[in-house]
Chain A
């Protein structure tokens, strides 16, 4: 397995995802002789994991069971150890499409952070593309290198430990796209321009604050970028629930036989097929929004190098 190529069976050294139930999962490094504790009991790697098919159900020592999943950048994003605030798949999706990334693309990124976007970019540009990612924090840069190695993608990425605003990306005139997620992106626009190929390269800058966006747009204009466009994207998730609503008691009619609306005492009443006449409730399926949703992550500004 690797993050850029599917495998069928779990092997020693793989990173797998243990799925316990609704939105409860965690990554695990598969290793001979190791055990993993879960709330359902122990998972013995040698007997329970290695050699099993991805997607299999594994019964743990206490009797409960879990599913073992093949890693993907999306699952990794939901489960990786955070060293910084990360980008989630909603933003990652639109970034990928708007930067026109595909196999063979050369991408530059800064800052690497916790590697959430990095894994997604590597997956998209594989097997012939490359990611040049710059991180000014030494330990974060090293941790990223380690993870890329463990995930079998080190040949597709170069991690550079430097300040992109001062020293750029370490490459020039070859990138198809540049991505910036740093505090002062306007200071890196010049470096971004020189890293990008001569014509048609795409750039994206992610900033939580509109003031940062304003300065960045100005810098992009000054450096001759065109098609400058800022947007934001938010995810709305719905829980599928069967809802029962009570029919209110509006009292009985006195003599009149004509019925109006829901009349639970009239057996010939057509009404809604879901009406439960005995209990006086109506059932239906609904997509119910979550109570707490993400209201803002950051503004995404895209532009083209002309």
Chain B
């Protein structure tokens, strides 16, 4: 259901995104699971089987019902005023009270009808200008005609959602900045990519989407394991993950210096009794990771994470010999299981290390909370020459430092420090204007292209650096003149 062809249908177990106007929320499609979204409570059961993109209404029972296409009543020339000079806002123009409206809602009256009632009971409506009436109707519809669209997750949807709902989780990476990274990095099918991000796996997911399952990705991670909460929202088919590797940052230095060994692995997060939100380990935990995006974590989910925890808290009656024997068998099995898992982890680690050692990656993407300079200087070593790299930072200054250090290092050209300025527009006849500016706050990018590094020749890298710099502008020189 990933490629084109017949439209994808909503299935149980999917990660779907609820949309109402500009508000998004990612949820797990599960039966009899109560969802809260935009002040409404409902179950998703009735949505299963429908095509993604379908718009639903919430019935009084908390069920979803596809919205019927309603014929818009032909606009006869309605009564309208010319301006608001005589309209006084005393809060008394609406004759229906809160209780009246509630009564209508309780009766099961549809939102459309409620809006109609509000219009009829407004003393000032017919004095408003046509534009003001339009705006009034839109506002009431938004409040009372609660329709929800269920959309299929994509980079577009998820990056917009995360930026609006949880920007802190993605280092305030605005979606247009992410879009630039994917293009500047020439992310496409067949690449061998190195990705280092602390954006809940959103950037990883975006890269995976653009690679379509072709090629390979090595995700570098801090701490015990990569966080892929957002990645699971994309709903990629299993094969996409076959060529997704991970490698701990803590082993990078040893890999670069040739002293890498698998003897001391990063702490296994599964052994931790406490489940930190940040550590999701290397196991597939689709359901639990989605909890991050929902407002209320469910108790069942918390229990799924730690199968070993159950064991630790089991107090066994030692006097029951048979029970004890069975328990010993169980323990042995568990130990064996753990050993197999460890062996698998070690094997994967060696595979990732081997891939990195080839030093022929087709690109590098960095978007993390860490200072970018040490990351870039280390990870660029694994990238082939004539390949793009892009670093995101929430702040400009660390990228100034990064730029400077890269110039000193050499082996990079076309360095560019940039940010994008995004503006949304309202387009209506005679009423078109920008909506709101989002300039600033989108983060900054430093991008460049690798070239063959002339190591040990400081002279050539200096002359290289000089060649790469734009001749300093007149403005700068003036500042050096004595006063």
Contact = CB atoms under 8 A, between A and B. Distances in A.
Interface stretch (A26-34, A185-193, A238-246): A238-246
Nearest to A105: B4
A124 B182 CA distance: 10
A97 B385 contact: no
A49 interface: no
B156 A8 contact: no
B452 A53 contact: yes
Contacts of B79: none
Given A214-B427, A217-B427, A229-B424, A237 B468 contact: no
A299 B3 contact: no
A236 B420 contact: yes
A198 B7 contact: yes
Given A6-B190, A21-B468, A55-B450, A93 B183 contact: yes
Contacts of A166: none
A197 B7 CA distance: 8
B274 interface: no
A243 B401 CA distance: 14
Given A4-B188, A230-B424, A235-B418, A127 B156 contact: no
A67 B399 CA distance: 24
A54 interface: yes
A238 B483 CA distance: 28
B416 interface: yes
Interface in A241-288: 241, 243-246, 248-249, 285-287
A59 to B, nearest CB: 11
B265 interface: no
A142 B154 CA distance: 35
A74 B186 contact: yes
Contact of A200 (B7, B360, B476): B7
B468 A104 contact: no
A301 interface: yes
B183 A120 contact: yes
A61 interface: no
A199 B7 contact: yes
Interface string B5-32: 1011000000000000000000000000
A214 B53 contact: no
A72 interface: yes
Nearest to B453: A55
Contact of B210 (A6, A124, A230): A124
B449 interface: yes
A240 B182 contact: no
Nearest to A174: B4
A243 B479 CA distance: 8
Interface in A276-306: 285-287, 291, 299, 301, 304, 306
B386 interface: yes
A6 B179 contact: no
A286 B182 contact: no
A100 B182 contact: no
Given A90-B420, A236-B418, A55 B386 contact: yes
Contacts, number: 212
B404 interface: yes
B180 to A, nearest CB: 5
A232 B7 contact: no
Interface centre among A22, A174, A306 (most CB of B within 10 A): A22
Interface in A135-179: 174, 176
Contacts of B467: 21-22
Contact of A6 (B191, B414, B427, B470): B191
Contact of B152 (A70, A200, A218, A249): A200
Contact of B424 (A93, A231, A240): A231
A107 to B, nearest CB: 10
B53 A22 contact: no
A203 to B, nearest CB: 13
B388 A241 contact: no
Contacts of B468: 21-22
B423 to A, nearest CB: 5
A287 B420 contact: no
Interface in A1-25: 4-6, 8, 19, 21-23
Contacts of A231: 422-425
B418 A57 contact: no
A80 interface: no
B421 A234 contact: yes
A5 B190 contact: yes
A43 to B, nearest CB: 16
A67 B179 contact: no
Contact of B472 (A176, A241, A299): A241
B469 interface: yes
Given A70-B386, A104-B4, A236 B156 contact: no
B105 interface: no
B191 to A, nearest CB: 7
A69 interface: yes
Contacts of B156: 97-98, 100
A92 B183 contact: yes
Contact of B184 (A8, A74, A213, A287): A74
A281 to B, nearest CB: 8
A209 to B, nearest CB: 11
Contacts of B451: 19, 55-57, 67, 69
A123 B420 contact: no
B420 A96 contact: no
Contacts of B415: 240
A166 to B, nearest CB: 26
A103 B452 contact: no
B137 interface: no
A113 interface: no
Contacts of A128: 3, 212
A158 to B, nearest CB: 16
B184 A89 contact: yes
Contacts of A214: 427, 429, 432
B304 to A, nearest CB: 31
B184 A93 contact: yes
19 contacts: A19-B451, A54-B386, A69-B449, A93-B183, A96-B182, A97-B159, A102-B209, A103-B211, A104-B2, A120-B183, A123-B188, A200-B7, A200-B8, A214-B432, A217-B427, A218-B429, A234-B420, A236-B419, A285-B400
Given A97-B155, A198-B7, A249-B483, 5 more contacts: A53-B385, A97-B182, A123-B186, A174-B4, A232-B423
**Which 10 residue pairs are nearest across A and B when measured between Cβ atoms?**
A55-B385, A103-B212, A55-B386, A93-B183, A97-B179, A54-B386, A230-B425, A199-B7, A103-B189, A93-B179
Interface of B: 2-5, 7-8, 51-53, 152, 154-156, 159, 175-176, 178-180, 182-184, 186, 188-191, 209-214, 360, 362, 384-388, 396-397, 399-401, 403-404, 413-429, 432, 449-452, 454, 467-470, 472-473, 476, 479-480, 482-483
